[in-house]
Chains A and B, each alone.
Chain A
Amino acid sequence: MNSRTRAIVLASGLALLAAVPPLAGLLDQPFYLDLVRRVMIFAIAALSLNLILGYGGMISFGHAAYLGIGAYAVGVLAHYGIDNGFLQWALAIGASALVALAIGAVSIRTSGVYFIMITLAFTQMLYYLGISIEEFGGDDGMRLAVKSQFGLIDLNNTIAFYYLVLAILVLFLFLGHRLVNSRFGMVIRAARSNEARTRSIGFSPYPYRLAAFVIAGAMCGLAGALLVNHTAYLTPEFMNWTRSGELMFMVILGGIASIAGPVLGAFALLFLEDALSGWTEHWQLILGPLLVLSVLFFKRGLAGLLFGKNE
């Protein structure tokens, strides 16, 4: 499939997403509006993870940390009566970037299985930190009484919120595309495929990897800010380690190292979860082995299936 048809498929996919609110209104199924909005928020998070996991080869098992940081940034400011959305979301992005800088600075020094374990452990640390702060509800979490205030855009209007999430998703797809095809992105990809050669042509991978790690964390922080507005509830569960695993699965199911893949993966995983949990209470008993099988036999992911071989 050439790039022209690929662009057509992508455009029709986005058009389909844009058509969800009127369709849901027409069919009187507001539930789907809610579901697709949630999926798109996770798609943003998965997309950011893919920048480091797919293109950078950094297997971060702790990406849910930034969902949590972004959510806490909004929730904590709201808790102290600061409802300005611009301020809240700027803090979400900034704080996530800072935390990613600290975690990345330590963990990128290592590689392979160490990197997996360390990113997982640091996220667990933040999870326990969230649980232990009673001021913000401890492990029960707390309600987000007032959503982020933006003046013109009212997030309580479900349709306006939906289109805002869609716009951010499209923006991030574009930014991600530009990023991985830039000089910076080339270095990241080169370091993944052959670190020794990358060094020998004069690039030290560490600062590039760290920068990518911080960018991915910041993007995911914004997804966290969206998520807490979506659920109107702040809980340390956003940072639960299973959430990090789910984000990884979205990337893998969608197809590693393709920009739109994680979006497909997010849809596939969350719709599958929704369908299975509607069918039986013990849906994880089925989902688990399905995921194992997908890892064993479905390596190229949905994007690979749809668009043919990438890169």
Chain B
Amino acid sequence: MNIILILEQTLNGLQLGVMLFLMAAGLTLVFGIMNLVNLAHGSFYMVGAYLATTFYQATGSFALGVLLGLAGTLVVGIVVERVALRTLYERDHLDQVLATFGLILFFNELMAILWGRAAIYATLPGYLSGHVELFAGLRYPLYRLVIIAVGLAVAGLLWFVVARTRLGMLIRAGASNRTMVAALGVNIRLLYTLVFGFGAALAGLAGLLSGPIHVVQPGMGELILIEVFVVIVIGGIGSIRGALAGALIVGMADTLGRAFVRPMLATVLSPTAADTAGPALASMLIYLLMAIVLALRPQGLFPART
């Protein structure tokens, strides 16, 4: 274990963290304001990845692919909200979970019909591939640095919108008392649609950014969705701050755990025992972390102020 490796894995953890944050932010906003548990949030992640990859291949421009992918996910999000989810706001959480579970089946199969079941590989344009030498001995992929930058920029933008703009004021007001906001003459339905579409676009952004690192395939959204649940449980539901803190904690714990649990176990256990227990423990790490946080603070680290 040397310092370069630790730094590199820390950057990887940061990159996973901002990705989880992009997902968690939308999910937690939608829950905080509409009181909706949306399992199909992972589907927007998948839709974003597919659309951006396809548009990039069609237009030959990565930037255009990203923009069209984002716009496309926004539209899909708005349509889903209008058609299927609007009636669910007043229902209990059980109904919401079940209905959005049905939506997941639908979207996964739709992607399989349109693009096939096999994974497709998204590529990077020349100006985003390659490595940068951060300092002597540490060459890091440029694209991952871009993801970190984009994620942090979005986090800053989100804070600005929610804390400093009129729209953000309405969002916060809607979260604390929607009836009152509607009574004051705000079109709350439009606000819901906007917030939902915005959350979907954030998930789409996470998906299209992750496309070139992972593979694009049906069902790709659900694996990250469950990690995002862990993020939200740790951070506290309904709070953007909590989502950011939880995402960074989970991103770091997961990445560093996968990199270092096995070598650390190997120092105390026999190599074969470490080879068996290492990956098992590493894959369970974030869930154990969640259990510990819950035992100490059942409402998460940064619960939304009520």
- Contacting residues of chain B (34-86) with chain A, CB-CB under 8 angstroms: 37, 84
Complex Cα–Cα for A129 and B276 (A): 11
**CA A289 – CA B105 in complex, angstroms?**
8
**Majority SS at the chain A contact face:** helix
A58-96 contact mask (Cβ, 8 Å, vs B): 1 or 0: 010100000000000000000000000000000000000
- Residue contact B276 to A288, C-beta cutoff 8 Å: no
Q: Is the Cβ of B279 less than 8 Å from the Cβ of A110?
A: no
Do B230 and A295 touch across chains, with their CB atoms under 8 A apart?
A: no
Does B280 lie within 8 Å of A133, measured CB to CB? Answer: yes
Q: Is the CB of B280 within 8 A of A288?
A: no
Instruction: Contact check, B94 vs A125: say whether CB atoms are below 8 A apart.
Output: no
Within 8 A of B (CB), among A120-134: 120-122, 124-125, 128-129, 131-134
B residues in contact with A122, CB < 8 Å: 287, 291
Complex formed: what's the CA distance from A53 to B93 in Å? 12
- Count how many chain B residues have C-beta atoms less than 8 Å from C-beta atoms of the other chain: 43
Q: Given the known inter-chain contacts A117-B233, A120-B226, A128-B283, please indicate yes or no for A110 contacting B105, CB distance below 8 A.
A: no
**Closest approach, in angstroms, between the C-beta of A118 and any C-beta of chain B?**
6
Give the shortest distance, in Å, between B208 (CB) and chain A (any CB): 23
User: In the docked arrangement, what's the CA distance between A292 and B87, Å?
Assistant: 11
Contact in complex: B109, A129 (CB < 8 Å): no
> CB distance A292 to B102 under 8 Å?
yes
CB of A249 closer than 8 Å to a CB of B: yes
Contact code string A86-120 (vs B, CB < 8 Å = 1, else 0): 00000000000000000000110110111011101
Does B243 touch A at the CB level, under 8 Å?
no
Also in contact, A282 and B283, with CB within 8 A (given A117-B233, A291-B98, A291-B105): no
Asked whether any CB of chain B lies closer than 8 Å to the CB of A287, the reply is yes
Residue B125 at the chain A interface, CB threshold 8 Å: no
Q: Mark A22-62, 1 if CB is under 8 A from B, else 0.
A: 00000000000000000000000000000001000001010
Q: Does A135 contact B (CB under 8 A)?
A: yes
Whether the pair A110, B294 counts as a contact (CB closer than 8 A) is yes
Is B97 in the interface zone, CB < 8 Å from A? Answer: yes
- Residues on B with C-beta less than 8 A from A133 are 276, 280
**Could you tell me the distance in whole angstroms from the C-beta of B146 to the nearest C-beta in chain A?**
29
Given contacts A117-B233, A285-B113, A296-B87, contact A129 B280 (CB under 8 A): yes
A114 / chain B contacts, CB cutoff of 8 Å: 233, 237, 298
10 tightest Cβ-Cβ pairs between the two chains A and B: A288-B106, A288-B105, A291-B102, A125-B287, A292-B102, A284-B109, A128-B283, A285-B109, A117-B229, A284-B105
Q: Which B residues are within 8 Å of any A CB, using their own CB?
A: 31, 37, 84, 87-88, 93-95, 97-99, 101-110, 112-113, 222, 226, 229-230, 232-233, 237, 276, 279-280, 282-284, 287-288, 290-291, 294-295, 298
CB<8 Å pairs between A and B, sample of 18: A106-B295, A107-B294, A113-B93, A113-B237, A117-B230, A120-B226, A121-B290, A132-B282, A134-B276, A252-B94, A252-B98, A282-B109, A282-B112, A288-B102, A288-B107, A291-B99, A295-B102, A296-B88
